[in-house]
Amino acid sequence: MFTHSCLHNKQLFLLLAYLFLFPSESLAHKIRVFAWVSGNMVTVESGFAGKRPLINGKVTVKDNKNGTILLQGNSDEKGVFTFPIPDKARAEARDLLIVVSGGEGHQNQWLIPSTEYLPQGEVPSPALDKKPCLSPTASPSSSAEVDNAELKQLIEEVLEEQLAPIRRSLAKAENKKPTIHDILGGIGYLLGLAGLAAWLKNRRPGGQQKQ
């Protein structure tokens, strides 16, 4: 009987050791969402806290003002879902509310304000004026406009490349795992509550119970 329980203890120890030493990378039960605009596209990255992506998660894009569903889709095996900004939202300058649901009652959301995808106050004219000054071989205005469009796209592409790591680190910063402070804080609260309860129960209406 004794050896039997010893064996059990060993198994339990191994199981617990396994659980503690190889925790899965994901902390399920909290979905993280991170979305950004590049050009006319919005990219939504979703996953569980930690690194594991949310595969085939249901992404719903809503108009934040009245909650109408603009479009729906599923995230791919990297947890990414990309969609073009709906013309309707663009025309009415609506904020996009992106809700990602992982089933099993887990979901989270991300808001993209219209200011993030609408050009700020439509100011193409200064750029047009400056362009000929920058290039000495100034061409007729029509080709300058074409150049401008091309240039704009080029800049966007380069910016996208440059910004990608920053986006990633931002997403990482959003993705907070419980820290040791959180855990110890919680345990401290619970012990404190026990103390409080003990004190309340120990109070006698007649005065002190012990000196």
Partner 1 sequence: MHISEGVLTAPVLIGGAVLTAAGTTVGLKKLDYDRIMTVSMLSATFFVASLIHVPVGPGSVHLLLGGLLGLLLGWGAFPAIVVALLLQAIFFQYGGIVVLGINGLNIGGPAVLCGLFLSPLLGGSKKQLMTAGFLAGFCSMFLSALLMAGALFLSDQGFLHAAVILLSSHLPIMLIEGLITMFVVSFLARVQPEILSLTTRK
Evaluate whether 19 touches 45 at the Cβ level (below 8 Å): no
Q: How far is CA 29 from the centre of its chain?
A: 14
* 9 near partner 1, judged by CB under 8 A: yes
* 38 near partner 1, judged by CB under 8 A: no
> Which of 31, 85 has the CB closer to partner 1?
31
* 123 near partner 1, judged by CB under 8 A: no
d(CA 44, CA 119): 20
Which of 54, 108, 55, 64 minimizes the C-alpha distance to 86? 64
Cα separations in angstroms, 169 against 79, 151, 187: 17, 28, 30
* 113 near partner 1, judged by CB under 8 A: no
* 107 near partner 1, judged by CB under 8 A: yes
Which of 113, 10, 130 minimizes the C-alpha distance to 63? 113
d(CA 44, CA 59): 8
Q: Please pick, from the candidates 41, 127, 159, 193, the single residue that binds partner 1 as defined by CB under 8 A.
A: 193
Map residues 131-170 to x or -, x wherever contact with partner 1 holds by CB under 8 A.
----------------------------------------
Residues between 80 and 99 that touch partner 1 (CB under 8 A): 99
DSSP type of residue 122: -
* 194 near partner 1, judged by CB under 8 A: yes
Q: Please pick, from the candidates 6, 7, 8, 115, the single residue that binds partner 1 as defined by CB under 8 A.
A: 8
Q: Please pick, from the candidates 12, 14, 93, 164, the single residue that binds partner 1 as defined by CB under 8 A.
A: 12
Q: Is 59 exposed, middle or buried (0-12, 13-18, 19+ CB in 10 A)?
A: buried
Strands 80-84 and 96-101: unpaired
Question: Least distance from C-beta 21 to partner 1, angstroms?
Answer: 11
Here the tokens at position 144 are 């300058």
* 202 near partner 1, judged by CB under 8 A: yes
* 183 near partner 1, judged by CB under 8 A: yes
> Which residues lie near partner 1 (CB under 8 A)?
5, 8-9, 12, 15-16, 19-20, 23-24, 26-31, 48, 52, 55, 99, 101-109, 176, 178, 182-183, 185-187, 189-191, 193-194, 197-198, 201-202
